[in-house]
């Protein structure tokens, strides 16, 4: 048991973090709801034809993106699960994690380099004499971009479920002489089916709230989502009532989806076995191995080509001139400072709230206040996803407008919004690691009489350094590539690298945009590598011990 004073301070710190999040969100929403200016029409702000057309397109593209991502992910996951000795399998699985940390603008530029009007694919089609090039803009471009980001995510989650199938199942299937169709029906499909509701709901949520990809590849008002419509209503029309209606519509859709996912997701059952080593006997030779190799090769090609296009286009640009451009240097410095600050704030807040939740639930019978605090912390990590960043920025813009020039507060607002948007992901990285660490070291700390700063320095930091660095790098990468909050406040006074990249793309300065995309991708790659555990160093440390 921790000391009474330390317990009180921990609960107070957790309550302050939770209260700060709730206050920040509620004040922004209240400012929008209270906005009333002559000439702003509240009536009909939600129920006009444009809003419903945007809502229909949002649901359509999210549904199609989810279906395509899952349809392509299933054969990839099955092939990787069968071919455990496939050449480069470990690196292929690592490659599928790369789109998750890639800024959306960089990926969009890479997709344009392959699928765009002057891209590799259309150049090849024109060389064959075809007159109808593939268009990367509009619904088709949005679908390709969403599949690029979400297919690897779905494949990795399905692969984890397939690898958890007990080894006895495969041995029984081999003894019974099961054909590939029977193996899929009775062994593989039950494992995938239990994961589908959660995977589909996550992908649908990401696609329904997509902003940067739709803004870049939408191609016009005909391909706008609710998130983009909110941005347009605030940035160009400055019509907060319409933005409120659109925000309420999006929140209601995403909240309904969360409830449906919770009701549809079954309890995970990985099967029961005696711990036998998994050894598969199917797909070792013949047509099955060739087919699996072809599926994996196509998936790798689909992921590598846009990345290669970004590198090739960036190297063809005048990198020396861009690197010496004062505007680029200022944008890079601003992006790094904002990313590091918001990342540190996000990780610190998440760690404090997780620790406060553990302390609140540590008694056998926690009081109602402690249970409420724990429930509020858990809910805040998911409900933050329901509030669009542009809505938070617009609300605080209205709150700060009476104080004078809002541009003075723009960096602070961007830092807070980016930290808040990264909180759900950081929470999911840290929560299991901190729970395991507390279970392993709690009794040791009590027996040694360690608490406060001494426990943090001697026990908590050495045990949690790796997950904390991973969470920090992930939060910094998300903030660095974010365009949602900066899209409202971006100006000559505050320019970030994503905003500068988007401005160059909108101004048809594709060469400069390619170089900036390469810079942005490299910075994100450095952040990812900095947060990756060094396995060799850990093995040497364990060997020395």
Whether 536 shows a pLDDT value over 50: the answer reads no
> Of 145, 510, 238, 222, nearest to 230 (Cα)?
238
Other C-beta atoms within 10 Å of 140: how many?
A: 15
- The C-alpha R_g of the chain, in whole angstroms, comes to 25
pLDDT higher than threshold 70 for residue 533: no
Q: Locate 472 and state its tokens.
A: 């920090």
What are 146's two structure tokens?
């969403």
DSSP collapsed to 3 states, 144-162: HHHHHHHHHHHHHHHHHHH
Q: What is the pLDDT of residue 277?
A: 59
> What token pair was written down for 505?
């793309």
pLDDT band at 348; cut points 50, 70, 90: very high
Q: For residue 409, what is the DSSP state? A: G
Mean pLDDT highest for which of 258-272, 390-404, 416-430?
416-430
End-to-end CA distance of the chain: 29
Q: According to the model, what pLDDT value does residue 38 have?
A: 53
Helix (H), strand (E) at residue 109: helix 104-115
Angle at 43 between CA 42 and CA 47, to 5 degrees: 110
* Mean pLDDT, residues 3-15: 81
| pLDDT of 65 | 93
Tell me: pLDDT of 68 over 90.
yes
Please report the DSSP string for 194-263 in residue order: HHHHHHHHHHHHHHHT--HHHHHHS-SGGG--HHHHHHHHHHTS--HHHHHHHHHHHHHHHHHHHHHHHH
Q: How many CB atoms lie within 10 A of CB 389?
A: 24
Eight-state DSSP code of residue 184: I
345, 358 in Cβ contact below 8 A? no
In the predicted structure, residue 545 carries a pLDDT above the cut 80? no
How high is the pLDDT of residue 542? 39
Question: Which range (76-80, 91-95, 204-208, 362-366) has the least confidence?
Answer: 362-366
- The DSSP symbol for 96 reads T
Cα distance between residue 390 and residue 242, in whole Å: 13
| CA pair distance 505, 215, nearest whole angstrom | 11
Q: What is the DSSP letter of 493?
A: S
Q: Which residues contact 189 (CB under 8 A, 6 or more apart)?
A: none
Instruction: Provide, rounded to the nearest whole percent, the portion of the chain with pLDDT above 70.
Output: 83
C-alpha atoms less than 13 angstroms from C-alpha of 65 in its C-beta half-sphere: 32
Q: Is the pLDDT of residue 39 over 70?
A: no
The least confident of 142-146, 193-197, 266-270, 467-471 is 266-270
Most confident of the following: 22-36, 41-55, 177-191, 289-303: 289-303
Domain limits of the chain?
A: 47-311
CATH number, span 47-311: 1.10.3720.10
> Per mean pLDDT, which of 213-217, 254-258, 381-385 is the most reliable?
213-217
Average pLDDT over residues 222-226: 79
Return mean pLDDT, the chain. 78
Q: Is the pLDDT of residue 492 over 80?
A: no
Q: How far apart are CA 534 and CA 95, in angstroms?
A: 18
Q: What is the DSSP string of 65-77?
A: HHHHHHHHHHHHH
Position 265 scores a pLDDT of: 62
Residue for token digits 């001494």? 454
pLDDT bin (cut points 50, 70, 90) of residue 70 is very high
- As a whole number of angstroms, the distance between CA 89 and CA 300 comes to 11
CA distance 519 to 490: 19
**Selected residue with higher pLDDT from 359 and 20:** 20
User: In angstroms, rounded to a whole number, what is the distance separating the alpha carbons of residues 202 and 264?
Assistant: 13
Q: What is the largest CA-CA distance in the chain?
A: 79
Tens digits of per-residue pLDDT, 404-442?
A: 777 788 888 889 988 988 888 788 778 878 887 777 777
pLDDT at residue number 148 = 92
pLDDT of residue 151: 92
Condensed to tens digits (0 to 9), the pLDDT of residues 507-521 reads: 777 788 888 888 888
Q: Are 516 and 319 in contact (CB under 8 A)?
A: no
CA-wise closest residue to 205 among 225, 222, 231, 233: 225
Asked if the model's pLDDT at residue 380 lies above 70, the reply is yes
Angle at 326 between CA 321 and CA 328, to 5 degrees: 70
Flag the least confident range among 239-243, 367-371, 494-498, 500-504: 239-243
pLDDT of residue 134: 72
pLDDT band at 285 (very low <50, low <70, confident <90, very high): low
Burial profile 121-132: b = 16 or more Cβ within 10 angstroms, e = fewer: ebeeeeeeeeee
Sign, Cα dihedral of 156, 157, 158, 161:
positive
pLDDT at 528: 65
CB neighbours (10 Å) of residue 247?
27
The pLDDT assigned to 69 comes to 94
Per-residue confidence band for 325, with pLDDT thresholds at 50, 70 and 90: confident
Backbone φ and ψ of 178, nearest 5°: -65, 140
- CA-to-CA separations, 470 to 66, 154, 253, 430, in angstroms, rounded: 28, 21, 32, 9
Integer angstrom CA distances of residue 198 from 50, 185, 264, 384, 415: 31, 20, 8, 18, 30
Mean per-residue pLDDT, 4-33: 85
Tokens of residue 99, six digits: 């789109």
């Amino acid at each position: 048991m921790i000391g009474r004073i330390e317990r009180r301070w921990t609960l107070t710190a957790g309550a302050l973090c939770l209260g700060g999040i709730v206050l920040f969100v509620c004040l922004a929403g209240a400012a929008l709801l209270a906005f009333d200016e002559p000439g702003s029409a509240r009536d009909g702000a939600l129920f006009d034809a444009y809003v419903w057309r945007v809502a229909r397109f949002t649901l359509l593209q999210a549904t199609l993106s989810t279906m395509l991502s899952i349809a392509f992910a299933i054969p990839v996951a099955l092939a990787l699960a069968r071919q455990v000795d496939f050449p480069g399998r470990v690196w292929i699985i690592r490659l599928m994690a790369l789109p998750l940390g890639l800024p959306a603008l960089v990926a969009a530029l890479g997709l344009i380099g392959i699928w765009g009007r002057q891209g590799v694919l259309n150049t090849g089609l024109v060389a064959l004499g075809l007159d109808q090039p593939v268009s990367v803009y509009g619904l088709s471009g949005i679908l390709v971009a969403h599949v690029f980001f979400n297919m690897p995510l779905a494949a990795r989650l399905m692969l984890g479920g397939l690898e958890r199938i007990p080894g006895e199942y495969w041995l029984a299937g081999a003894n019974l002489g099961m054909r590939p169709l029977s193996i899929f029906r009775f062994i593989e499909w039950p494992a995938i089916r239990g994961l589908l509701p959660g995977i589909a709901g996550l992908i649908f949520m990401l696609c329904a709230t997509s902003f940067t990809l739709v803004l870049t590849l939408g191609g016009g008002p005909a391909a706008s989502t609710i998130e983009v419509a909110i941005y347009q209503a605030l940035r160009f029309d400055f019509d907060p009532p319409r933005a409120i209606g659109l925000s309420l519509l999006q929140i209601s859709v995403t909240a309904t989806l969360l409830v449906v996912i919770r009701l549809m997701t079954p309890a995970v059952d990985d099967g029961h076995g005696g711990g036998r080593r998994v050894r598969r006997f199917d797909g070792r030779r013949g047509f099955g191995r060739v087919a699996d190799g072809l599926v994996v090769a196509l998936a790798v090609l689909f992921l590598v080509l846009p990345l290669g296009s970004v590198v090739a286009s960036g190297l063809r640009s005048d990198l020396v001139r861009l690197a010496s451009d004062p505007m680029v240097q200022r944008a890079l410095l601003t992006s790094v400072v904002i990313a590091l600050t918001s990342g540190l704030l996000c990780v610190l807040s998440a760690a404090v709230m997780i620790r406060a939740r553990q302390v609140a639930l540590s008694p056998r019978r926690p009081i109602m206040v402690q249970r409420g605090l724990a429930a509020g912390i858990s809910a805040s990590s998911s409900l933050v996803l329901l509030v669009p960043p542009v809505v938070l920025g617009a609300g605080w813009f209205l709150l700060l407008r009476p104080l004078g020039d809002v541009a003075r507060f723009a960096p602070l607002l961007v830092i807070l919004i980016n930290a808040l948007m990264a909180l759900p992901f950081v929470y999911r990285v840290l929560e299991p690691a901190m729970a395991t660490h507390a279970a392993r070291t709690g009794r040791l700390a009590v027996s040694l009489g360690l608490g406060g700063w001494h426990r943090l320095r001697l026990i908590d930091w050495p045990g949690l350094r790796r997950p904390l660095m991973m969470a920090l790098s992930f939060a910094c990468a998300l903030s660095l590539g974010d365009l949602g909050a900066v899209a409202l406040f971006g100006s000559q006074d505050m320019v970030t690298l994503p905003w500068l990249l988007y401005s160059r793309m909108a101004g048809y300065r594709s060469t400069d945009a390619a170089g900036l995309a390469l810079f942005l991708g490299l910075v994100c790659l450095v952040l990812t590598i900095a947060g990756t555990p060094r396995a060799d160093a850990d093995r040497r440390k364990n060997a020395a011990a």
